[in-house]
A and B are shown apart, each in its own frame.
Chain A
Amino acid sequence: MLEAVDLTKTYNGTAALDALSLTIAPGEVFCLLGANGAGKTTTINLFLNFIQPTKGVARISGLDVTEHPLQTKRHLAYIPEQVMLYPNLTGVENLDYFAALAGRELTQDESRSFLVEAGLPAEAAGRRVKTYSKGMRQKVGIAVAMAKQADVLLLDEPTSGLDPKASNEFSELIKLMSDRGTAILMATHDLFRAKESGTRVGIMKHGRLVETLNTDDIGHADLEKLYLEHMRD
């Protein structure tokens, strides 16, 4: 479960994130929409404890991330826009390392089956990662999330730059994770993807969450209209 209470981050007096309050339950997929600089990545970095909040609290599974930086990451997985891995190591070796850091030593077979489950072609698992496409690297990221049995998934514009097929595959994986009870926070520009995979969407502007709605309650065209209305001025 993800929880932000009055979460605020200011840089030199300018609020990058302004009093965000948000709860994402297990199995929920919350999509954050908004222009560049609206505070989406700041929110994710705050949950990762990569930056310190100016005010407010970010909690994962009920624990304050600044007070329990290690415990909160035990069951958290993070997939940035570009999943960057060790280019000279294979997919299996990369997965092994990140899973081991999370406290899980995998056997070769386990690693391979996680990678395949995440959609990586079996023959690619033993290849060096520098030969991977962006989509393939993301699948390694998903495999890490699966291996550490993440309760919480933080995704930062994961589908930007993916071709429609890869993007669709990615949505399937999101759905798979959410069906397993993972709470997912996804920052994205992709309204279509947000409507398809999200259970809720939130629109951010100048660091504020200005609108929250259930995806079931709104059609794709209306979502776009609403988004553009907010972006005006």
Chain B
Amino acid sequence: MLLRIARHDLRCLAADRAAWILVAMLAGSVAYGVYNGSTWVRFQEATLAAVAEDEASRLVQLRRDAEAIAPDAAAPVSWLDPRSPGVVAGSRGQRFAAAPPGPLAAMTVGQADLYPFYFKMTNRTKQTFIAGDEIENPSNLMAGRFDLGFVVVYLFPLLILGLSYNMLSAEREQGTLAMTLAQPVRLRAVLLGKALARAGLVLTLAIGLAVVGSLVAGVDLRAPGVPARLGLWIATVAAYGAFWFALALAVNALGLASATNAVVLVSCWMALVVIAPALISVAVTSLHPVPSRVELIGAIREASSKASQEGSGLLAQYYEDHPELMPASSAPIAADFLVKLQAVQKTVDETIEPVMARYDDQLARQQELVDRLRFLTPAVATQEALNDVSGTSLGRHKHFMAQVDDFHQVWQNFFIPRVMRRERFSLDDYDAIPEFEFREQPLSAVARRAAGGLLGLIAPSAVLTLAGLALLRRYPVAGR
């Protein structure tokens, strides 16, 4: 019976021009969203390719220069001399630590365009490389991209409401409800059948187009974890759509006029999609404000200038602390600026560390609060889940940053002893320069968080549906 009602409803929709317009709008915005997302992914990939190309050609040139120097040549004097470990570590031999775009980044860019995705590694402090920003139009960054995530979170509910706000009220208003209920069929079957038909149509279309579009845009299904992520993406969108249909169902069950339904539902959309996320954002930033960036920069400057003044003193101090790095008296490289700088860096690092840590702590607290508050509105729960499974979340960025930190440590451990011992950088050493290899966020972590979000969507949908069906008992079929 449900299927028969659903089939009939689809037939009615097919004969209605307004429904076609809504469907066309949905298809158009999904296509545009995928296009924008894949443009961003292609930009990232092109940037990373350019970066890799730069790194490779620089290292080839460096090695060629090193080979050109006779083994018994005089001690290096040039700031570009390839035999000086400080030169290799801090300029000519720098490697990049880069994160590829998330596995489904074309489907949800989210705020990933605000996170840096590659760093030029150096033997200096973290501060010197962490601030390498991408140049992008700030107004674009502020508004965010018209990506598929935006289409799903903001536009998708409007289209659903446009298609379902008068599911039942229109039947009553045009008089067909009485004819229908004069047949042996329950009101709840009529409403459920119609909701299922419309949900089936919209979800199939939206998800089908999104998946096809993203495969065309280059999402690689054979890559590890991608089918599972795609499955979670689909489940999240389906659950989010189900929430809006459940809401429309519940409002229709109140027995109000179509126009009233429309006003009520649009108000819900405003409250849940526009206002609540803004309030959550205000709550998060005012409860756990991030320390001023000016304060951080000030601390760095102060520490640097103080350390520089103490320059040679710090170097002596350094060797006192690290007697094993004390260079032989016949060391081939002079105790030049670079060596001194290395000693200074360490002091600066130690001074700045607590200031940086405060940043990270506050960010972690913010994310923790978002984790809890996201359940207040399906819009935030969905956005977070989509970011997670697409690999464009803050969580993945932090995962990347932790790897960058580790790599920085490896880099320092490799170069600093060579710098401080004032050794010559040998040809073998070039092959041993550490390389960064990005490890994707583990699927289990992604799936756990996305599953929480899914639950936060399914539970209210179920409650709304059940409440709606219960309300139908008092539905005024015949007015008085």
Q: Which residues does A use to contact B, with CB under 8 Å?
A: 11, 16, 41-42, 45, 48, 50-51, 69-71, 73-74, 76-78, 80, 82-89, 93, 97-98, 100-103, 128, 141, 144, 148, 154
How far does the Cβ of A142 sit from chain B's closest Cβ, in whole Å?
A: 13
Are A100 and B175 neighbours in the complex by a CB distance under 8 Å? Answer: no
Q: Which residues of the other chain, A, contact B184 by a CB distance below 8 angstroms?
A: 69-71, 73-74, 101-103
Q: How far is the CA of A71 from the CA of B185 in the complex (A)?
A: 10
Known: A73-B184, A89-B15, A102-B183. A80 touches B480 (CB 8 A): no
User: Is B21 an interface position by the 8 A CB rule?
Assistant: no
Cα distance, A84 to B184, chains bound together (Å): 18
CB-CB contacts below 8 Å: B34-70 with A:
none
Chain B residues near A (Cβ < 8 Å)? 1, 4-5, 8, 11-12, 15-16, 174-176, 178-186, 477-478, 480
* B182–A78 CB distance below 8 A: yes
Which 3 A-B pairs rank lowest in CB-CB distance, beginning with the nearest? A84-B175, A88-B15, A78-B182
When the two chains form their complex, are residues B182 and A51 in contact, meaning their CB atoms are under 8 A apart? Answer: no
Partner of A86 from B1, B5, B176, B478 at Cβ < 8 Å: B176
What's the Cα separation between A48 and B177 when bound, in Å?
Answer: 12
- With A48-B182, A70-B186, A78-B182 known to touch, is A101 a contact of B4 (CB < 8 Å)? yes
29 A-B pairs with CB atoms under 8 Å apart are A16-B480, A42-B480, A48-B182, A50-B477, A51-B480, A69-B184, A70-B185, A70-B186, A73-B182, A73-B184, A76-B182, A77-B182, A78-B179, A78-B182, A80-B175, A84-B174, A84-B175, A84-B176, A85-B176, A85-B179, A88-B12, A88-B15, A97-B8, A98-B179, A98-B180, A98-B183, A101-B5, A141-B179, A148-B183
Report how far A52 CA is from B424 CA in the complex, Å.
Answer: 98
* Structural contact, A93 and B11, CB atoms closer than 8 A: yes
Bound-state Cα–Cα, A77 to B334, Å: 105
16 more contacts with CB within 8 A, not counting A41-B478, A50-B181, A84-B175, are A11-B480, A48-B181, A48-B182, A70-B185, A80-B179, A84-B176, A87-B174, A88-B16, A89-B12, A98-B179, A101-B1, A101-B4, A102-B184, A103-B184, A144-B179, A154-B182
Contact B179 A83 (CB under 8 A): yes
Whole-angstrom CA separation of A197 from B117 in the bound complex: 85
Contact of B178 among A71, A80, A97 (CB under 8 A): A80
Q: State which of A51, A85, A88 has its C-beta within 8 Å of the C-beta of B478.
A: A51
What B residues does A102 contact at CB under 8 A? 183-184
Residues of A near B186 (CB, < 8 A) are: 69-70
Interface centre among B1, B12, B178 (most CB of A within 10 A): B178
> For residue B175, which residues in chain A have a CB less than 8 angstroms away from its CB?
80, 82, 84
Closest Cβ–Cβ distance, residue A44 to chain B (whole Å): 9
Taken together as a complex, chains A and B put the C-alpha atoms of A99 and B178 apart, in Å, by 15
Q: How far is the CB of A131 from chain B (nearest CB, A)?
A: 13
Taken together as a complex, chains A and B put the C-alpha atoms of A11 and B476 apart, in Å, by 14
Give, as a whole number of angstroms, the nearest-CB distance from A65 to chain B. 12
Give the nearest-CB partner of A78 in chain B.
B182
Docked pose: A196 CA to B184 CA in angstroms: 32
Closest residue of B by beta carbon distance from A93: B11
Please determine whether A101 and B185 come into contact, CB atoms closer than 8 angstroms.
yes
Q: How many angstroms from the CA of A51 to the CA of B476 in the assembled complex?
A: 8
Residue of B nearest to A51 (CB): B478
In angstroms, Cα B478 to Cα A144, docked, is 21
CA gap between A11 and B176 in the complex, in Å: 25
Q: Closest residue of chain A to B480, judged by CB?
A: A11
Of the candidates B11, B174, B183, which one forms a contact with A101 in the assembled complex, judged by CB atoms under 8 Å apart? B183
**A100 CA / B190 CA spacing, docked (Å):** 13
Q: Which of B16, B180, B183, B478 contacts A45 (CB 8 A)?
A: B478
B182 — nearest CB in chain A belongs to which residue?
Answer: A78
Among A48, A70, A88, A154, the one with the most B-chain Cβ atoms within 10 Å of its Cβ is: A88
Please, how many angstroms separate the alpha-carbon atoms of A69 and B175 in the complex? 20
B13 to chain A minimum Cβ distance, whole angstroms, is 9
Are A100 and B179 CB-contacts (below 8 A) given A89-B15, A93-B11?
no
- With A70-B186, A80-B175, A86-B12 already in contact, the answer to whether A101 and B180 are too (CB < 8 A) is yes
How far does the alpha carbon of A148 sit from the alpha carbon of B175 in the complex, in Å?
20
Find out whether the CB atom of B12 lies under 8 angstroms from the CB atom of A84.
no
Compute how far the CA of A82 lies from the CA of B174 in the bound complex, rounded to whole angstroms.
10
Closest partner residue, chain B, to A140 (CB atom): B179
Shortest A76–chain B CB gap in Å is: 7
Please give, as numbers and ranges, the residues of chain B lying within 8 Å of A88 by CB-CB distance: 12, 15-16
A148 and B180 CA atoms in complex are apart in Å by 13
